[in-house]
Structure 1
Amino acid sequence: MSTRPNQRSIKWVEGLRGVTSVLVITTHVSRAFDFALFWPADSEDGTPRLLQLPYLRIPWQGRIGVPIFAFLTGFVCAYKPLKLAYPQGNTAAALKSIARSAFRRPPRLVLPALVATFISFAVSCLGAYKAANRCNSFWVRFDAPDHVSFRENVRRLFTTSLTTWTNTENIFDRHQWAMRPLLIGAFQVYIVLAATIGMRFQYRMLVHLLLIMYWLMNVNALTETFGAMLALGTLLAELSQHRPTQNFISSHQRLLTFVVAPLLLLIGGFIGSYPMEHEDWSTWSRFLHKYLVDGGSIVVPRDSEPHRRTSAFFIMCAAVSLFLSPALQSLLSHRLLIWLGHHSFAVYLVHGTILRTVAIWIVYGITGEPWEPAGKNEDGTDREPVWILPRGRPYKTVAVLVFTVLTYVSAWAWMRWVDSACARVTQWLESKVFGDEEGEANGSLAEKGYAHVNGNGGISRPQIYQDGDRKVPPP
C-alpha cells in the first residue's frame, strides 16, 4: 500500500546527514593539502582549475557542512514532538517528548566529545602532532595542538573540556567549535516548540518565518549559520506533516521536481560558489561581489560575512528543493547514504585527529624533521621558521585514500563501542531522572507533592480544601 502524503518517509534526512559528513572531511582535506581550491584561481592572472569553477567548487570550499547540520538539528528535534502534537493530537505526549529530548541532548553531545578530546590529548602527549606543527600548511598548524609538557597538557585537557562548551575553544580538536552552538540551537528549537504548541497552524508558521527573518537580519557572527538554519528546519518539519502541503506536493510532483527544485539549486549554487578570498580574480566572482556584497543586498546585508551569507542562501535553496522534490528525497534515502548518515557524528569527531596524524605523516613524514625553528639572523633581524614541504602529489593521493578509509573504519568502531556506551549511560540517566518504571513514576509524583499514596499503596487524587465558596489547593 502506498504511503499517504502526510506519512511520507523522512529517511532522506539521514541520507543528507551522510552527504554532509562527506562534505566536511572533503573541505578539511582541501584545506590541508590544496588551500587554493578556496580561491577562484591559483593566482590573479591564472586560469581556473576545474574544481575552482562555480558549482564544482562548493564541496571543496567548505562553509556548508556545519549549517546543514544546524538545519538537520532543527528538523529532527522538531519532527517527533510535532507529530505527537498535531497528526496524533497528543499535546501532553509532545511536551513530554520535548522534555526528554532536552534532557538527552547534552549528554549525547558532551560525552562523545569528551572521549574524542581525551584521545587527541593522548595523541598529543605522545608527540604525534610534531609533523603537523611543522608542516607548511597554515591551517594544519593552527588545528594541531602545540607540543608542551605532560603537566601542561593535563591542565589543557581540563580547561578545554570546559571551554568547548563556554567559548567553543578546543585546543585538542578545534573541529568541535560547532558543538556549543548546535547544543544551544537544539534548546532554541525546544523552547519554540513549547511556546507554540497550542497555537493554530498559520500562527506557528508565522513564528518560524519571523525567526528566520530575525536571524538573517542579525549581522552578528554565525547567525545565518545556526539561528536561521535551525528555524528553517523547524518550519519544514511542520510542513512535512501538514496534510494540505503534502497533498499539494504530491499533486504537482513533476513541476516541483523538474522545474522548481532545479531552478532553486541553480540559483542557490551559483550564489553559494562565492569564494572565501580573492573574489576579484575571476569574472563570475567579481559579478557576485558587485551585485551582492558592494553596498549590501538582501542576500548579504551590510557588515555581514559574505562567504557565510552566500553559503546560507545556497543551503536554504537546497533544503527547500529537497522538501519539494520526492525524487530527491528518494535519492538521498539510498542505504549507503543512510549508513554514512548513521556514522556522521562519529566521522565528525574522529576525522580531525586522523588527518593531523596519519595523513600528515604520509605527506610530510612522521619525524617532523628536518626543521629550522624561528630565531635571529647574523645581523640581529628576526628569522622566520622554515616549514617542512610536502613530498609530492602521489603522497597526497595516498594520504587522502588512507585517511578516508581509516576515518570510516574508525567511525564504525566508534559507533559500535563508544557511542553505544554513551547511549547506554544517557538512557540510564533518563530512566533515573524521569522514572520510566510505573512505581518510580508514582514515587516521583508523590515526591513532588503531586500525588498522595493511599493506604493500599495506590495513588489517590489530591485533597481539595474548602475556604468558604472558594476551593484552594493543599499547602
Structure 2
Amino acid sequence: MSNQGQRNIKWVEGLRGITSVLVICTHLARAFDFSLFWPADKKDAPPRLLQLPYLRIPYQGRIGVPIFAFLTGFVCAYKPIKLAYQQHNVPASLMSVARSAFRRPPRLMLPAMIATFISFVLSCLGAYTSATHCDSFWVRFDAPDSQPFRKNLRRFLWSLLTTWTTTDNPFDRHQWAMRPLLIGAFQVYVVLAATIGMRFKYRILVHVLMIFYWLSNSAYLTETFGANLSLGMLLAELAQHRPTQNFISSYQRIFTFIVAPALLLIGGWVGSYPQEHEDWAEWSQNLHNWLLNPEGPEGSENLGSMLVPNGSNVHRRSSAFFIYTVAISIFVSPAIQRLLSHRYFLWFGRHSFAVYLVHGTLLRTVGVWVVYGISGQPWVKADTNEDGSPQPQEWVHPKSRSHKMLAVVLFTGVTYLAAWAWMKWVDTACARATQWLENRVFDNGEDGEGKGGMAEKGFSQANGNGSARIPIQTDRTDRSQPPP
C-alpha cells in the first residue's frame, strides 16, 4: 500500500483554501452582479460566459459552507480514529475526543466575538453608511443600519449571544454558519464516542445510515450540515482502512482519469442548478424537471426525486450532491490530493477561517466604498405621497463598471492581507488563550488521572511512578478507612 495514499491529508487544508476563495467569489457576485445567479440576464436572452453550466458554480454560491461541514466531519474524526484503530489506544482516542470537544467552542467563539466587535466599532463610526444606501439589496441586508450608541451597544451585546442561539448577527451575518458547524462538530464527537468499540464494518454501516437519514430528512439545512458531516466521518474511516487504500492504489489511474472526472462532470451538472429563473434556459429547465419531477398541466405539483425528495430545498440539494461528488473524487484520486497539497493551496487553507471572518466586513466597507463612494450620497430617505402611500426609495448607483473591477481586485488583496494579520496576531492570541484554559481544566496524567485529579478526589500518589495510590489521611482517628 502507498504510504502517501494512506497518510496524505494535506489536501484537506488545500480544499479549505479553495473554499475560502469560492466564498469570496459568490459574495462578490451577490454584491455587484447578482444576475450571475440566473441562467441568463433575462428570459430569451443569450447567457453570459459565467452563467453557463459548470462555469457558474464558483459564483452562484451554496457550496462553501457544505464543504466546511464535510471538512469538519473529516478532521474531527481522523485523529481519534487513528489513535483507536491504528495505534490500538482507545483511552487516548477518547481523551482526544474530550480535548477536541473542549477546544472547539472557544476556538470558534473567541475569534467570532472579536470580528463582531470590530464590525460594531465600524458601525459606530458610520462606516456602513454607503452600504445601507446602495442599490444592492444583498449588501443593504448584510449591513447594520445606523442606530444611537446605546441602542447599538445593546444590539452588539445581544449579537454575541444570538450568533450561537438563533444564528442572527446583524454586524456580521456571515457568521450564521458558526452555530451549526459547532453543533456538527459535537455530532461527530458523540458518534465517535458511541462507536469507538465497534468493529469496522459496523462503524461504516453507522456512517452510511446517518448519511441516508440526513438525505431523507427534508428539514432545513440537513443536506448542508448533517449529510456532509457524516460523509466526512465515513471518508476519515476509509482513509485509514488498508484494504480500501490498497484498492485505490492498485487502480489509481482508473480512479484519477475515469472515475473522478465522471463524478465531477455529473456532480457539476447537477450543482449548476440556478438560484432563480431556471425557466430562462433550456438546460436549467430540463434539470429542474429531472430533479423535481413536476406533474400536472402547469407543473403545480412536485413529486421530487431521489436527489431532491418532496419538500426539500432543491438549490441546496443540488449543490450538496456536487459536494459529495467532489469529496469522493478527491478521496479516490491521489493525483488530486497531491494537487491540493501544493504549498499555495495550503497557504490559502491556513488563512481560510480568518478570511471567512473578515471578508464580509471588508466587502461592506472597502469594496462598497470603491463602487459607490464613502459618503453614500446623494441619498434622501423616501417620503410618503399625499394619499399616504410610500414613495419608492431611490438608492445610490455604482459609479461605473471599472469601479466594480477595481473593487474586486482591491477588496481581494485587502482581505487576504487582513487575514494574514489576523492569523499572525488575533488567531494566535485566541489559540494561546484556549491552550491555557485547556491546561487548567484537563489533567495531564498519562493514564488520564494525574496528581491534580487524584488529589481533588482525596487521593495522592504513593510513589514517583504513580503505580500505587494511598488515601490522604484526613481522619487521624481511623487511618484504615479512606475519606468519604
Q: TM-score of the superposition, structure 1-length normalised? A: 0.95
The aligned counterpart of 1:322 is 330
The aligned counterpart of 1:444 is 453
The aligned counterpart of 2:425 is 417
Any conservation in 2 of the 1:219–1:301 contact (CA below 8 Å)?
A: yes
The aligned counterpart of 1:426 is 434
When the two chains are superposed, the root-mean-square deviation of aligned CA atoms in Å is 1.8
In structure 2, what is the Cα distance between the partners aligned to 1:48 and 1:6?
Answer: 41
User: Which range is displaced more, 9-18 or 293-302?
Assistant: 293-302
The aligned counterpart of 2:238 is 239
The aligned counterpart of 2:58 is 59
Q: How does 1:170-249 map to 2 (within 5 A)?
A: 170-249=169-248
Q: Kindly provide the amino acid, as one letter, of the partner of residue 11 in structure 1.
A: K
The aligned counterpart of 2:312 is 304
The aligned counterpart of 2:268 is 269
The aligned counterpart of 1:81 is 80
The aligned counterpart of 1:408 is 416
Any conservation in 2 of the 1:452–1:460 contact (CA below 8 Å)?
A: no
Secondary structure in 2 aligned to 1:221?
A: coil
Q: TM-score of the superposition, structure 2-length normalised? A: 0.93
1:455 CA drift (Å): 8.7
The aligned counterpart of 1:8 is 7
Q: For 1:249-278, what per-residue CA distance to the aligned partner results, in whole angstroms no more than 9, with x for missing partners?
A: 000001101111000000000000000110
1:435 CA drift (Å): 3.0
In structure 1, what is the Cα distance between the partners aligned to 2:235 and 2:278?
Answer: 33
Q: For 1:260-319, what per-residue CA distance to the aligned partner results, in whole angstroms no more than 9, with x for missing partners?
A: 100000000000000011011110110111111132000001010000000000000110
Structure 2 residue ranges without an equivalent (≥5): 295-302, 472-481
In structure 2, what is the Cα distance between the partners aligned to 1:190 and 1:135?
Answer: 44
The aligned counterpart of 1:142 is 141
In structure 2, what is the Cα distance between the partners aligned to 1:455 and 1:45?
Answer: 84
The aligned counterpart of 1:394 is 402
In structure 2, what is the Cα distance between the partners aligned to 1:407 and 1:381?
Answer: 43
Structure 1 residue ranges without an equivalent (≥5): 464-472
Instruction: Assess, with a 3 A threshold, how the Cα gap between structure 1 residues 272 and 74 changes in structure 2: closer, same or farther.
Output: same
1:392 CA drift (Å): 1.2
The aligned counterpart of 2:391 is 383
In structure 2, what is the Cα distance between the partners aligned to 1:160 and 1:418?
Answer: 20
Count of residue correspondences: 464
Instruction: Indicate yes or no: 2:381 matched with 1:373.
Output: yes
Instruction: Indicate yes or no: 2:335 matched with 1:336.
Output: no
Any conservation in 2 of the 1:29–1:400 contact (CA below 8 Å)?
A: yes
Secondary structure in 1 aligned to 2:450?
A: helix
The aligned counterpart of 2:477 is none
Secondary structure in 2 aligned to 1:367?
A: coil
Q: Pick from 340, 344, 351 the counterpart of residue 359 of structure 2.
A: 351
1:379 CA drift (Å): 4.3
The aligned counterpart of 2:98 is 99
Q: Kindly provide the amino acid, as one letter, of the partner of residue 370 in structure 2.
A: I
User: Which range is displaced more, 368-377 or 216-225?
Assistant: 368-377
Secondary structure in 2 aligned to 1:19?
A: helix
Instruction: Assess, with a 3 A threshold, how the Cα gap between structure 1 residues 40 and 434 changes in structure 2: closer, same or farther.
Output: same
Any conservation in 2 of the 1:6–1:241 contact (CA below 8 Å)?
A: no
The aligned counterpart of 1:43 is 42
Q: Kindly provide the amino acid, as one letter, of the partner of residue 305 in structure 1.
A: N
1:459 CA drift (Å): 6.6
In structure 2, what is the Cα distance between the partners aligned to 1:353 and 1:277?
Answer: 26
Secondary structure in 2 aligned to 1:376?
A: coil
Any conservation in 2 of the 1:181–1:226 contact (CA below 8 Å)?
A: yes
In structure 2, what is the Cα distance between the partners aligned to 1:286 and 1:386?
Answer: 34
Q: For 1:122-160, what per-residue CA distance to the aligned partner results, in whole angstroms no more than 9, with x for missing partners?
A: 000001100000100000000000100110111011100
In structure 2, what is the Cα distance between the partners aligned to 1:114 and 1:107?
Answer: 10
Any conservation in 1 of the 2:2–2:249 contact (CA below 8 Å)?
A: no
Any conservation in 1 of the 2:462–2:470 contact (CA below 8 Å)?
A: no
Q: Kindly provide the amino acid, as one letter, of the partner of residue 308 in structure 2.
A: V
1:462 CA drift (Å): 6.8
1:3 CA drift (Å): 5.1
Identity of aligned residues (%): 67
1:378 CA drift (Å): 3.7
1:45 CA drift (Å): 1.5
The aligned counterpart of 1:466 is none
Any conservation in 2 of the 1:5–1:250 contact (CA below 8 Å)?
A: no
Q: Kindly provide the amino acid, as one letter, of the partner of residue 317 in structure 1.
A: T
